[in-house]
Structure 1
């Protein structure tokens, strides 16, 4: 019977995704990945290379999938707020990407910047610019970074929620929110959506002001 290479790769990627999400790059073990996938560990090296290369493949794959799973829809600041809310809900259902990104930053830092993901990030910023016509490449990247930072933080610093909000809130309203996880999530999503909408509106206003100033300078010149 012919060996099903693609199935084997999928099994290994799924097992590696779980392993890296839980233990990070340094803590992950190739033996556990292979055992979980039910595949000889030599297949890992054959298909993906060294452990850090497998980690890069896992993260790159999940990020590319995210573009389609949480599309950037509509235009204007409200569309940006909606995108932030949907991204937040996605990461609540599946914490993999926030965990992998934080592990990457903690363990690799600036060395994590890879040419393999350059095209992905360029495409994502371009799609974001399409949501906010008139916004420059740098401003769009800055705004997107702010939103991603806000949204990705929840799964990895959830302990601060109780320390700063639900556990420190006095009164019946605070107790009710703390006792109802769904209500707490709704409140957090609303805050994120308002923040993203306001940031997008401010960025567009700043871009419009800069364009008017440049036009006036050209006219006077």
Structure 2
């Protein structure tokens, strides 16, 4: 019987996603990933290399999946706010990407910055956001996109700060909806402020 390589890779990535999300890069154990996947751990080294390379593969897979699940659609400040809201929904539903990104920032930021594939992913994302908000240059689009990512990723993993700052009087669903609305409103306002001013009308042309 032929060995199903793609199925084995998928099982390992699924088990590794759960392990890294829970324990981070340093705390994750390769033997536990292999056991949960039902695969010999030598397959990990064969298909993905070292543990940090497996972490990179997990995060890359999750990010590509999110681009498909939460596309940038429409045009203008309202579209930017809508994208932020849908990304918030996606990340709150699983919290996998926020947790992985925060772990990466704590334990592997330098390797991520040097990863050509990650750089290309983010370049494409910024370009997509520029199409969402015509008139913004790359730096402006990148700054606003970074604001979205920061706001959206933080809430699922900083619940204790939400409790300390805002309190717990609201039902969880109501609090989540209120936070979503605040993020959408913030991004719409920032997007409007970033849009270039329309050219002033020529008074000679405007005169009757």
Q: Are residue 10 (structure 1) and residue 1 (structure 2) matched?
A: no
Aligned partner of 2:194 in structure 1 is 203
Tell me how far apart the structure 2 counterparts of residues 138 and 63 of structure 1 sit (CA, whole Å): 21
Q: Any gaps of 5 or more consecutive residues in structure 2?
A: 201-208
Q: CA deviation at 1:155?
A: 1.3
Q: Are residue 93 (structure 1) and residue 93 (structure 2) matched?
A: yes
Does structure 2 conserve the Cα–Cα contact (< 8 Å) formed by 1:80 and 1:196? yes
Does structure 2 conserve the Cα–Cα contact (< 8 Å) formed by 1:72 and 1:131? yes
SS at match of 1:154: helix
Does structure 2 conserve the Cα–Cα contact (< 8 Å) formed by 1:134 and 1:208? no
SS at match of 2:118: helix
Does structure 2 conserve the Cα–Cα contact (< 8 Å) formed by 1:12 and 1:44? yes
SS at match of 1:166: coil
Tell me how far apart the structure 2 counterparts of residues 76 and 184 of structure 1 sit (CA, whole Å): 27
Tell me how far apart the structure 1 counterparts of residues 60 and 182 of structure 2 sit (CA, whole Å): 29
Aligned partner of 2:31 in structure 1 is 31
Does structure 1 conserve the Cα–Cα contact (< 8 Å) formed by 2:70 and 2:87? yes
Tell me how far apart the structure 1 counterparts of residues 42 and 70 of structure 2 sit (CA, whole Å): 35
Cα RMSD between the aligned structures?
1.3
The answer to which structure has the higher helix fraction is 1
Does structure 1 conserve the Cα–Cα contact (< 8 Å) formed by 2:112 and 2:118? no
Aligned partner of 2:203 in structure 1 is none
Q: Any gaps of 5 or more consecutive residues in structure 1?
A: 168-174, 214-221
Q: Which runs of 4+ in 1 moved over 4 A?
A: none
SS at match of 1:145: helix
Q: CA deviation at 1:23?
A: 0.3
Q: Deviations over 1:173-220 (max 9, x none)?
A: xx3x2xx1111111111000000101111111xx447xx69xxxxxxx
Tell me how far apart the structure 2 counterparts of residues 2 and 83 of structure 1 sit (CA, whole Å): 44
Tell me how far apart the structure 2 counterparts of residues 101 and 14 of structure 1 sit (CA, whole Å): 17
Aligned partner of 1:217 in structure 2 is none
Aligned partner of 1:190 in structure 2 is 181
Q: CA deviation at 1:112?
A: 2.1
Aligned partner of 2:145 in structure 1 is 144
Aligned partner of 1:162 in structure 2 is 163
Tell me how far apart the structure 1 counterparts of residues 143 and 99 of structure 2 sit (CA, whole Å): 21
Q: CA deviation at 1:115?
A: 0.8
Q: CA deviation at 1:109?
A: 2.6
Q: Deviations over 1:154-185 (max 9, x none)?
A: 11111111111024xxxxxxx3x2xx111111
Q: CA deviation at 1:111?
A: 3.5
